[in-house]
A and B are shown apart, each in its own frame.
Chain A
């Protein structure tokens, strides 16, 4: 598959899982975290949850994956594209936490910080893994395992 399409497929997978994770977190915490208000703030549409969310999805499906494709060589953590995706997502997460946390504090802030980081890492991982899988020529091959090697 060509690279931009692979990247978009990765982004779509990632954003689908990430949205679901955020949705579950939102519901599980009885809306205490106001994740979707945070998403709207992150997307630059504070107060407008629906449009904020649409922008968030569009960015996750098109903007970041294409940026990822362009920047892949320069992102640390390679050569595994999934790790590089996680690095990119971690950077995005920093912005998300700073723009989106509203007036949370204490325990709620800790929950918000940890679970949004996990959701972002999931997004980055899936983005990179799907992209890598669709663009590579064959199955990923690695070294043989040697049982007599006990150095690890």
Chain B
């Protein structure tokens, strides 16, 4: 009887999607994860096991100052944070599956979207791209290592404590529950509750809320800002001073160019966030009035926050643009069209990004003349973004496009960026923004970019460089399945949000009128598709790392025939030659 009632209560959609996941993984096993007998050159080293004098095992990872190891640490940390933040997202979509507040309480729901935002922006995207920068920038510019290897290590090791502070309420509660499981109950550990303020931490609510966890969140964010600044200084100095003699500004690769610009933005944006956070901490604990009505007022927080917050958007997206510009031409068989203009547009975005912050505040009643000037700059920043898009299209034009997994993600990323960008242009316009402000339209708009092009570029890079990082090839069929599932998933999940926003539904509410239920359910279904794709990605990379076919020829992607066998692959070829010397 129990069996039948379970079958009745699990939604049919879930059964279908899980069956899909099972089939996809089965296809992978049929494909190439069959373990073969030990080959003649058994003992071949994988990419993470370079022959070196490093200590073995866990000590290697705790003590390393090698930029490649730190890059891997960053990437693994970012992947873990992304999966945790993704869990938050799935729980948000579960609550929104029905109109009422019937799965989680409203407080839990508020905590979920807060921690989802903080986790994804500060602990997934930024570390993911910093990790790629750490691994590849020294190789691409011909340096032996980053300029300041130890600062590099410190910058990484500040992140885990920062993450624990931001999500502290959960972690202390985990400890409390562990103690409770053996019969000890320590109330202090249960006193921190996850923050419910939203990632923007708007005053005055962020000052009034008495939850002590909010102070830990502020300190954690401050710490993560320090880590990000250190990493950026390192990237800037490395690119400026450690370049090989034959690397000039003219032939510096596009990925390093975007990271240089990104790091420049970080240098100006993150200190503002740091200062604002400390002022907020002081307001909460020491009776200052920076953001109180009798002091600077809540609007001051918004100005300071968005002076950091909008450049932050470009800190997240520029490395993704760099990856698309780097990877797309390799699978189009042509050189990147308009290289110079892509660099100029990157620099232009870097400068303009500081002039658009107040478009987040159109609805606060600012002076209309000021508002109009911010509208003008916000519309203007669409131009360099469009320059990139058209250059990518021109690169594909007449090219010999190969639909390898990284290319699927690049082209999918361009598609989602066009939707995300055009919806953004509308939001930059004051009259439209006044109607759509704080509705689901905004959520749909920025998810097309953060889940679309940013995450897609990260996925593309994870596949493109997987052979270089691990010495093994991933399962290409599963990779393609992941690519197509992700594109479909993003459109199914976030197009309904645009429509819901046109309907006028405000964001950040656990319950909503029943009229929106069908669209919300469609959106949740899209989220499940994205989630399935992410699990396929994880399975594929973990299993391919263990059992994938071994790479012996560095030209994994047939880049030599189009003259694009770039520096990191040449470096990989040398590594492979060195490694084969140790073959038995």
Interface residues of A (CB under 8 A from B): 20, 23-30, 32, 36, 49-50, 53, 77, 79-80, 82-83, 97-98, 101, 105-111, 113-115, 117-118, 125, 129, 138-148, 152
Among A27, A109, A145, contact of B551 (Cβ-Cβ < 8 Å): A145
On chain B, the residues within 8 Å of A109 by CB distance are: 9-10
Contact in complex: A32, B14 (CB < 8 Å): no
Q: Is there contact, CB below 8 Å, between B170 and A139?
A: no
B38 interface contact, C-beta 8 A: yes
**Complex formed: what's the CA distance from A97 to B10 in Å?**
12
What are 14 contact pairs spanning A and B, CB under 8 A? A27-B177, A28-B170, A29-B108, A80-B35, A106-B9, A107-B95, A111-B90, A114-B14, A129-B546, A138-B38, A140-B547, A141-B39, A141-B550, A142-B472
Report how far A107 CA is from B84 CA in the complex, Å. 19
Task: Given A28-B87, A50-B183, A110-B10, check contact A141 B36 (CB 8 Å).
Answer: yes
Please tell me if B257 contacts chain A, counting CB pairs below 8 Å: no
A39 to B303, CA, bound (A): 49
Interface contact B14-A143, CB-CB below 8 Å: no
Contact B555 A147 (CB under 8 A): yes
| Contacting residues, chain B, for A117 (C-beta < 8 A) | 18
Nearest CB on A from B259, distance (A)? 28
The answer, yes or no, to whether B477 is at the interface (CB within 8 Å) is yes
Bound Cα distance A13, B14 (Å)? 30
Contact A50 B102 (CB under 8 A): no
Q: Determine how close the nearest CB of chain A comes to the CB of B224; give it in whole angstroms.
A: 20
Most chain B beta-carbon contacts within 10 A, residue among A139, A142, A148: A142
| B19 lies within 8 A of chain A by Cβ | no
Q: Nearest chain A CB to B358's CB is how many angstroms away?
A: 36
Contacts of A142 in B (CB 8 A): 32, 35-36, 39, 472, 547-550
A27: chain B residues at CB < 8 Å are 170, 173-174, 177
Residues in A neighbouring B44, C-beta threshold 8 A: 139, 141
Give the distance in Å from the alpha carbon of A147 to the alpha carbon of B576 in the complex.
Answer: 15
Interchain CB contact (< 8 A) of B557 among A79, A97, A139, A147 = A147
Task: Determine how close the nearest CB of chain B comes to the CB of A132; give it in whole angstroms.
Answer: 9
Distance between B246 CB and nearest chain A CB, rounded to angstroms: 27
Cα of A50 to Cα of B543 in the assembled complex, Å: 35
B94 touches A (CB below 8 Å): yes
What chain B residues lie within 8 Å of A29 (beta carbons)?
91, 104, 108
Determine if B473 is an interface residue (Cβ-Cβ < 8 Å): yes
Mask of B1-21 contacts with A, CB within 8 angstroms, 1/0: 011001001110010001000
Task: Give every chain A residue within 8 A of B94 (Cβ-Cβ).
Answer: 107-108, 110-111
- List residues of B (72-90) whose CB comes within 8 Å of A's CBs: 84, 87-88, 90
Q: How far is the CA of A27 from the CA of B180 in the complex (A)?
A: 13
Of the residues A23, A105, A143, contact of B36 by C-beta under 8 Å: A143
- Set A118, A129, A145: member contacting B549, Cβ < 8 A: A145
Quick check: B477 and A147 within 8 Å, CB to CB?
A: no
- Residue pair B467, A138 in contact (C-beta under 8 Å): no
A23 and B178: CB pair below 8 A? yes
- Most chain-A Cβ atoms within 10 A of its Cβ — which of B18, B182, B547? B547
Q: Are B174 and A80 in contact (CB under 8 A)?
A: no
Other-chain residue from A82, A108, A144 in contact with B550 (beta carbon distance below 8 A): A144
Cβ-based interface call for B287 (8 A) = no
> CB of B476 within 8 A of chain A?
yes
A-B pairs, 10 with minimum CB distance: A145-B549, A145-B473, A107-B103, A107-B94, A152-B476, A141-B38, A141-B39, A27-B173, A30-B108, A143-B549
- Known contacts A27-B174, A139-B42, A143-B36; is-contact A107 B102 (Cβ 8 Å): yes
Please name all residues of chain A whose beta carbon is closer than 8 Å to the beta carbon of B97 when the two chains form the complex.
107
Query: Contacts A106-B98, A129-B546; is A139 near B183 (CB within 8 Å)?
Result: no
Contact of A79 with B91 at beta-carbon distance under 8 Å, contacts A32-B104, A140-B546 already known = no
Q: Return B137 CB to nearest CB of chain A, in Å.
A: 26
Contact partners of A28 in chain B: CB under 8 A: 87-88, 91, 170
* A80 → B minimal CB distance (Å): 6
Contact status B174-A23, CB under 8 Å? yes
Cα distance A107–B100 when bound, in Å? 12
Complexed CA–CA distance, A26 and B108 (Å)? 13
A117 CA to B6 CA, complexed, in Å: 15
The answer to whether B29 has its CB under 8 Å from any CB of chain A is yes
* Given known contacts A27-B170, A141-B36, A147-B555, A108 and B103 CB-to-CB distance under 8 angstroms: yes
Q: Cβ of B6 and Cβ of A152 under 8 Å apart?
A: no
> Besides A80-B33, A142-B550, A147-B553, 9 other CB < 8 A contacts?
A20-B174, A27-B170, A50-B181, A106-B98, A108-B103, A111-B103, A141-B39, A141-B44, A145-B473
Which B residues between 44 and 93 are near A, CB-CB below 8 angstroms?
A: 44, 84, 87-88, 90-91
> Nearest-CB distance from B367 to chain A (Å)?
44
CB of A23 within 8 A of CB of B177, answer yes
Q: Is B558 located at the chain interface by the 8 A CB criterion?
A: yes
Instruction: Report the separation of the CA atoms of residues A83 and B22 in the bound assembly, to the nearest whole angstrom.
Output: 12
Tell me, rounded to whole Å, the shortest Cβ–Cβ distance linking A14 to chain B: 14
Closest to A77 in B: B29
A11 to B407, CA, bound (A): 40
- Docked Cα-Cα span, A145 to B33, in Å, equals 12
Q: Which residues of the other chain, A, contact B9 by a CB distance below 8 angstroms?
A: 105-106, 109
Interface residue from A77, A129, A143 paired with B32 (Cβ < 8 Å): A143
Check A147–B105 contact: CB distance below 8 A: no
Give the docked Cα–Cα distance between A144 and B88 (Å).
39
Q: Known interface pairs A26-B177, A28-B87, A107-B95. Does A144 touch B549 (Cβ–Cβ under 8 Å)?
A: yes
Q: Please determine whether A152 and B31 come into contact, CB atoms closer than 8 angstroms.
A: yes
Residues of A within 8 A of B183 (CB): 50
* Docked CA distance A79–B43 (Å): 19
Residue from B6, B181, B548 in contact with A53 in the complex, judged by beta carbons closer than 8 Å: B181
**How distant is the Cα of A25 from the Cα of B43 in the complex, in angstroms?**
39
B158: interface (CB < 8 Å): no
Which residues of B lie under 8 Å from residue A111 when comparing CB positions?
Answer: 90-91, 94, 103
B556 proximal to A (CB < 8 A) = yes
A103 to chain B, nearest CB (A): 10
Q: Which residue of A lies closest to B105 (CB)?
A: A30
Find chain A residues with CB under 8 A from B33 CB.
Answer: 80
In contact, A30 and B181 (Cβ under 8 angstroms): no
Q: Which one, B535, B547, B552, contacts A145 given CB within 8 A?
A: B552
Complex Cα distance A107/B181, Å?
27
Distance, CA A30 to CA B194, complexed state (A): 10
A residues less than 8 Å from B181 (CB atoms): 36, 49-50, 53
- B177-228 residues with Cβ-Cβ distance < 8 A to A are 177-178, 181-183
Closest residue of chain B to A39, judged by CB? B181
